[in-house]
Amino acid sequence: MTRILLVEDSVTMRGFVRGALLAGSPTLELDIVEAENGFDALRLLPRGPYDLVITDINMPNINGLELLSFIRKSDQHRDTPVLLISTQSSDKDRRRALELGANDYLAKPFTAVALQEAAQRQLERAR
């Protein structure tokens, strides 16, 4: 079973991401664990391991970049692939996220296919 931690404060976006992942991986058995914000994600991380973390950047409390920093400093999760999603779409924002340790970055709005391809790349690298 492939476990994904999805961290997104928008219920609508969580539903879109979940649906896209499930539709794009019909042969994979996915366990998608959802967190509403970075604080929720920190509570759920010890219940891992996770094969992939997908997180929004702009969230209340603990944002996606702060969560990424925690993941990269964690002995248990430092090698877990992290895919950042964000409305921030400049090259500068993308570079900053990758420099902080993100494995990939998708700017909103993105298509279901773009998400599926990015998630698949990270899952293949992790194997």
Over the stretch 83-125, which tens digit does the pLDDT of each residue have? 999 998 888 888 989 999 999 999 999 999 999 999 999 999 8
Distance in angstroms (rounded) separating the CA atoms of residues 92 and 108:
15
117 three-state secondary structure: helix
Structural domain boundaries of the chain?
A: 2-126
pLDDT of residue 85: 96
Residue 21 CA to residue 54 CA, distance in Å, equals 11
Quick one: CA dihedral 74, 64, 17, 126, positive or negative?
negative
Q: Compute the average pLDDT of residues 43-52.
A: 95
* Whether pLDDT at 66 is above 80: yes
Under CATH, what is the fold of the domain 2-126? Rossmann fold (3.40.50)
- Record the pTM: 0.95
DSSP 9-77: S-HHHHHHHHHHHHHH-TTS-EEEEEESSHHHHHHHGGG---SEEEEES--SSS-HHHHHHHHHH-TTT
Find out whether 94 and 105 touch, Cβ atoms under 8 Å.
yes
Phi/psi at 106 (5° precision): -120, 130
Tokens of 43: 């509570």
